[in-house]
Amino acid sequence: MAFQFPALVPSSRRFVALRWPVTSNRSQSGVKNTRLWGSAAGDGELQLGFNNIRDDLADAIVDAHEASKGGVSEVLLPAEVFMGTAGSLRVRLVDKLKSQGVRWYFKENDPPVVESVVPGISSVRVNLSAELRMS
């Protein structure tokens, strides 16, 4: 079951592109051998920062994490999360990854971090993982 992430525009966004399943070995003579172990990349990252938001919105982010069981269930990201991106980067983040079978999950063992700024206002940091999963 998938869970909806709150429709919030992040103050900051950091995307780490998908990684290919590759290993490399170097022989004693110095020859390097690199092997590709699959036909698709995965394991990307999306770090989102929400600065100075109301506490009820910060709590909605924590609720989404709890509902997804901390990375077990897919998190559906609304268009607001990608506001501020344009052109081919927006196409990659919104459409291309999904068409490749990549889904977003809360990063394993990395819950949202909520920092109080003033009473009623907090900043939240969220780490998501772009993954290819069997189910």
pLDDT number for residue 75? 93
Q: What is the pLDDT of residue 135?
A: 58
What pLDDT is stored for residue 39 in this prediction? 82
Residues 23/35, Cβ–Cβ less than 8 Å = yes
What's the pLDDT score for residue 8?
Answer: 96
**Residue 11: per-residue pLDDT:** 97
Domain range annotation of the chain: 3-22+36-131
Gap between the Cα atoms of 126 and 2, Å rounded: 17
Which helix (H) or strand (E) element contains residue 2? none
DSSP 8-state secondary structure symbol assigned to residue 73: S
Q: What 3 state SS string does 8-71 have?
A: CCCCEEEEECCECCEEEEECCCCCEEEEECCCCCECEEEEEEEEEEEHHHHHHHHHHHHHCCCC
Provide the pLDDT for residue 101.
84
What does pTM read for this prediction?
0.84
Torsion region of 69: left, alpha or beta (phi above 0 gives left; psi -120 to 50 gives alpha): left
What average pLDDT values come out for the chain (135 residues) when binned by 10 residues?
93 92 92 90 91 97 94 92 90 84 91 96 96 77
